[in-house]
Structure 1
Amino acid sequence: MTRCLPLCGFFLLLTSLSIRADVIAYSTSGQDSFLNQLAQAVELRVSEYSAHSYVESADHDLEAQVDHIRKFTQADVDAIILTPVSASPDAVKQLLDARGDSDIPLVFLNVMPDQHLVPDGVVVVGSNEVESGTMEMETLAELADYQGQVAILKGQPGHPAAEIRTQDIYDVVDRYEGMKVSLNETANWSRNEAFNIVTRWLKESPDDFNIIAANNDEMALGAIMALEKAGVDPNRYWIGGVDASPGALRAMKAGILDVTILQDGNAQARSAVDAAFRLMAQHPVASPIWVPFKRVTPDQVDRYLE
């Protein structure tokens, strides 16, 4: 897990350096397996530039993240990378306003606001979410022979990835007469919440789904845990997620997860850090920077477990 030092300690570090190396400050929206992977990849890439990194988690609190940006700006860091709590127009405006008139380079990572919401010179890095949910659901549909009832485990409401991935699932299901979405509940990216929801589905609606399409791997793993806890073989269901997290890959290797979509957090983080250093050198950077998703199925899992 990425360690987040108190901001006061960070400022003391900056002022104590007699010859200050470049400092990249990263505000992440929260901490889970994927967000921690992103943060660690940011730290690694920054170290390859012989620079310092500082990571702070907002714990899904927009006000806290606005405060991060304000304090990073006051500390005169060399660049700011940001995975926003929300990419809504109001949230993006608050985050940009917190930077004031500063010309410190700013890069949005993974959670992508619409490009028209950010000024020239601010770079957005991420992946096209239409690919993720579409690839996941098309694979599940093919495995189910285009027949069946789909239960959706949705991420945080209002989060661009949750909204787009969920719509992707509906769009794919609508293409096939033998399929429908029968259940759709919000589990907020959480394994525990998904566990509780699927446990309830098994009691109240056990015959209403044979496909589980989760917006991320944590929720897919929560669904698998609920099935196993109830004494139900997960192989009775087609189950998919997004992220290709280590836990999901292990579940796939064990034969209980059918598809996951690799959101290449390492590549996103590298691209964000590279963009920050180019901006620091006053080189132009085209935005957005797209990092493609990749489908991972059991026949490929060993390649990603290496």
Structure 2
Amino acid sequence: MNINRRVMLGVLAVGATGVVPAFAQESKGLIVIITPSPDNPFFKAEADGADARAKELGYETLVLVHDDDANKQSELFDTAIAQGAKAIILDNAGADASVAAVQRAKDAGIPSFLIDREITQSGVAVSQIVSNNYQGAQLGAEEFVKLMGEAGEYAELLGKESDTNAGIRSSGYHDIIDQYPDLKMVAQQTANWSQTEAYTVMESMLQANPNLKGVISGNDTMAMGAYAALEAAGRTDVIVVGFDGSNDVRDSILAGGIKATVLQPAYAQAQMAVDQADKYLTTGSTGLEEKQLMDCTLINADNAAQLETFALGN
């Protein structure tokens, strides 16, 4: 329901009953949350975190999905502008392709607060809150090297090429792994963050490289697809390391499957973006730099049991 219509209905209800509904008393306006598909639990955690925090702070919310399609994302920004959104929380559909939409919202007086993925220009969004992907990738690579015993053939599954994070993570991996001459990368291919695609790619990689000893993946979803393919081939001896900190990979680690992942705090990051949006709307400033990095945490058999919905408990 259009937010203005909801407020109008609230006013009508006051006249009829003399009681002001809670949303009419507390609503501070509409926050639009735009993410990739919630089929990936990481993006679902982002959307859920932002949605919950915005409602706690008294905002109406509209949660939308761009499916990594920049054209669809542009249309969703038009929707947000037409709805009179107060702010937009965005995990974008491309570092270059998203700049124009964020600028259009800014020109309409709607500030954007980015999470997870950066865009290529500064001064367009108010905040860009991203995980320290390079630091996290180095953590994952160090664990991978240790698990591999510093030697053997391995493959790398890359994320979507249009996503800056894919390149940063791969660089972080290689800046560690390439220091070990006995670790030999025999295959490297994108699976576009997809579990289904990773399964197919892993099947081909394994057929071409029967001596494969390890797989390092740009995210957990691809790691899950790779491990499923390895399991189907009876090759559960192959070491798999992911990146994200999903509950699915946590369960696999605890069951002795995938060996490690790197937690990036999706839920907390999204809530932080909403907090900054609220502060900006209230005071005109977040009081922080536009670009903000959040460090990642290695997850392995030692601490996997403490992981829940992209957050590490006690």
TM-score normalized by the length of structure 1: 0.89
Q: Which residue of 1 aligns with 2:253?
A: 252
C-alpha contact 1:37 1:266 (8 A) present in aligned 2: yes
Amino acid at match of 1:158: S
Aligned match for 1:74, one of 82, 87, 107 = 82
- Structure 1 segment 228-239 matched on structure 2, within 5 A: 228-232=231-235, 234=236, 236-239=237-240
Q: CA 1:231–1:180 in structure 2 vs 1: closer, same or farther (change >3 Å)?
A: closer
What is the CA distance between 1:94 and its match in structure 2? 1.7
2:299 is the alignment partner of 1:291: no
C-alpha contact 2:30 2:84 (8 A) present in aligned 1: no
2:111 is the alignment partner of 1:105: yes
Q: Which residue of 2 aligns with 1:304?
A: 307
Aligned match for 1:49, one of 33, 37, 57 = 57
C-alpha contact 1:170 1:181 (8 A) present in aligned 2: no
Q: Which residue of 2 aligns with 1:38?
A: 46
SS at match of 1:298: coil
In the aligned structure 2, how far is the partner of 1:24 from the partner of 1:194? 34
Q: Which residue of 2 aligns with 1:225?
A: 228
What is the CA distance between 1:100 and its match in structure 2? 5.7
Amino acid at match of 1:253: L
What is the CA distance between 1:173 and its match in structure 2? 1.7
Aligned match for 1:128, one of 132, 135, 151 = 132
2:71 is the alignment partner of 1:63: yes
SS at match of 1:281: helix
In the aligned structure 2, how far is the partner of 1:42 from the partner of 1:72? 16
- Structure 1 segment 165-176 matched on structure 2, within 5 A: 165-176=169-180
Aligned match for 1:87, one of 91, 95, 101 = 95
2:24 is the alignment partner of 1:24: no
Instruction: Show structure 2 runs of 5+ residues with no match.
Output: 9-23
In the aligned structure 2, how far is the partner of 1:23 from the partner of 1:170? 43
Q: Which residue of 1 aligns with 2:275?
A: 274
C-alpha contact 2:202 2:230 (8 A) present in aligned 1: yes
Tell me the matched-pair count. Answer: 289
In the aligned structure 2, how far is the partner of 1:123 from the partner of 1:155? 24
- Structure 1 segment 201-220 matched on structure 2, within 5 A: 201-207=205-211, 209-220=212-223
What is the CA distance between 1:140 and its match in structure 2? 0.6
C-alpha contact 1:173 1:180 (8 A) present in aligned 2: no
In the aligned structure 1, how far is the partner of 2:144 from the partner of 2:124? 40
Instruction: Show structure 1 runs of 5+ residues with no match.
Output: 1-8
In the aligned structure 1, how far is the partner of 2:208 from the partner of 2:98? 40
What is the CA distance between 1:105 and its match in structure 2? 2.1
Amino acid at match of 1:37: A
Q: Identity rate of aligned residues, in percent?
A: 25
C-alpha contact 2:198 2:226 (8 A) present in aligned 1: yes
In the aligned structure 2, how far is the partner of 1:181 from the partner of 1:24? 45
What does the per-residue CA deviation read over 1:167-213, in whole Å, with 9 as the maximum and x for residues that have no partner?
22222121112112211011011111111111122222212x21100
What is the CA distance between 1:84 and its match in structure 2? 0.7
C-alpha contact 1:214 1:242 (8 A) present in aligned 2: yes
C-alpha contact 2:259 2:301 (8 A) present in aligned 1: yes
What is the CA distance between 1:92 and its match in structure 2? 3.3
Q: Which residue of 2 aligns with 1:4?
A: none
C-alpha contact 1:151 1:183 (8 A) present in aligned 2: yes
Aligned match for 1:180, one of 159, 178, 184 = 184
